[in-house]
């Protein structure tokens, strides 16, 4: 009988020492939000050697504008079918400055997305492609009847079309077509016609570069 009482007492003591275990509430499931990336250049046509910048706006379906996650500017030059990374920003709110295409180039921005500290996921997205056309650069003097300069890049042994008019904005007629040297230089002497005349110089565009030109005025009293 004593043995029975001792065992019962030991069991009772063990039961009194139990600590209640708290049951945790189930955690809330994380959300996944789509994002929209919009990239816009400040210029869609520039002259060779000039720069443009691309403004960036990333918005999420929950109404926020994510700051985290990287934004990558990718480029595809004329004649290519491959996207090449040209710049990466550590913040999704940073614009791309000093973008300098060497020829007609199509761009897009790819946003990486990120996972927030609460587990919410902001999905990756990319902008619609956009193109920045690059016109060849034409140099010329500041005044005079003898015009000489250079067309670059890659305009050796190609044509410059010259037209003339008495009016600044219309009525142009063909004067002559000249051809650049193998290095892209040119020289032409304009006639000393009485009165005011306007001369249009144009270099043709192609699949790689946009057309360009300038207007010149002469006057003889």
* Residue 29 pLDDT: 72
Stated pTM of the model: 0.81
Helix or strand run (H / E) with residue 192: none
For the ranges 14-18, 116-120, 169-173, 192-196, which has the lowest average pLDDT? Answer: 14-18
Q: Is residue 13 part of a domain?
A: no
pLDDT reading at 91 higher than 50: yes
d(CA 95, CA 101): 16
DSSP code, position 119: S
Q: Where does the pLDDT of residue 7 fall: very low under 50, low under 70, confident under 90, or very high at 90 and above?
A: very low
Query: Are the beta carbons of 157 and 177 closer than 8 angstroms?
Result: no
Q: What is the pLDDT of residue 27?
A: 54
Cβ burial of 201 (10 Å; 0-12, 13-18, 19+) is buried
Q: In this structure, is residue 160 part of a structural domain?
A: yes
3-state secondary structure of 15: helix
Is 122 found in the same domain as 164? no
**21 in a domain, yes or no?**
no
Confidence (pLDDT) at 20: 54
Query: Looking at the structure, do residues 71 and 162 belong to the same domain, yes or no?
Result: no
Across 78-183, the runs of DSSP E, i.e. the strands, are: 84-89, 96-99, 105-111, 114-115, 121-122, 125-126, 130-135, 137-138, 146-152, 159-165, 173-179
Query: Could you tell me if 36 and 127 lie in one domain?
Result: yes
Residue whose token pair is 């600590």: 19
Q: 47 lies in which domain range?
A: 32-134
User: What percent of the chain has pLDDT above 70?
Assistant: 87
In a domain, 6, yes or no: no
- What pLDDT, on the 0 to 100 scale, is given for residue 55? 97
**2 part of a folded domain:** no
**Total domains in the fold of the chain:** 2
Quick check: 97 pLDDT over 50? yes
pLDDT in tens, 126-174: 999 999 999 999 999 999 999 999 999 999 999 999 999 999 999 999 9
In this structure, are 71 and 118 located in the same domain?
yes
Residues 46 and 127 both lie in one domain: yes
The CATH number of the domain holding residue 155 is 2.60.40
**Is pLDDT of 16 > 50?**
no
Task: Confirm whether 121 is domain-assigned.
Answer: yes
pLDDT for residue 138? 98
CB-based contact 7:15 (threshold 8 Å): no
Q: Which residue among 134, 167, 196 closes a domain? A: 134
As a whole number, mean pLDDT of residues 48-63 equals 96
The reply to whether 59 falls in a domain is: yes
The answer to whether the beta carbons of residues 218 and 145 sit under 8 Å apart is yes
Task: Name the average pLDDT for the chain.
Answer: 90
Angle at the Cα of 33 from the Cα atoms of 32 and 34, rounded to 5 degrees: 130
Q: Does 198 score more than 50 pLDDT?
A: yes
């Amino acid at each position: 009988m004593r043995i029975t009482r001792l065992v019962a007492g030991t069991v009772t003591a063990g039961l009194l020492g139990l600590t209640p275990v708290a049951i945790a509430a189930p955690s809330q499931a994380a959300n996944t939000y789509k994002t929209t990336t919009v990239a816009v250049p400040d210029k869609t046509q520039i002259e060779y050697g000039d720069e443009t910048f691309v403004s960036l706006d990333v918005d999420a379906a929950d109404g926020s504008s994510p700051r985290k996650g990287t934004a990558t500017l990718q480029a595809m030059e004329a004649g290519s079918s491959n996207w090449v990374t040209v710049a990466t920003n550590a913040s999704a709110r940073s614009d791309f400055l000093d973008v300098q295409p060497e020829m007609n180039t199509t761009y897009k921005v790819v946003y990486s997305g990120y996972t927030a500290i609460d587990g919410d996921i902001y999905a990756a997205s990319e902008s619609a492609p956009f193109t920045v056309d690059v016109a060849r650069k034409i140099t010329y003097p500041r005044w005079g009847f003898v015009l000489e300069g250079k067309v670059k890049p890659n305009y050796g042994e190609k044509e410059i079309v010259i037209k003339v008019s008495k009016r600044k904005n219309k009525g142009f007629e063909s004067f002559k077509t000249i051809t650049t040297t193998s290095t892209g230089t040119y020289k032409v002497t304009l006639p000393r016609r009485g009165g005011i005349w306007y001369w249009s110089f144009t270099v043709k565009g192609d699949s790689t570069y946009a057309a360009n030109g300038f207007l010149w005025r002469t006057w003889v009293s």
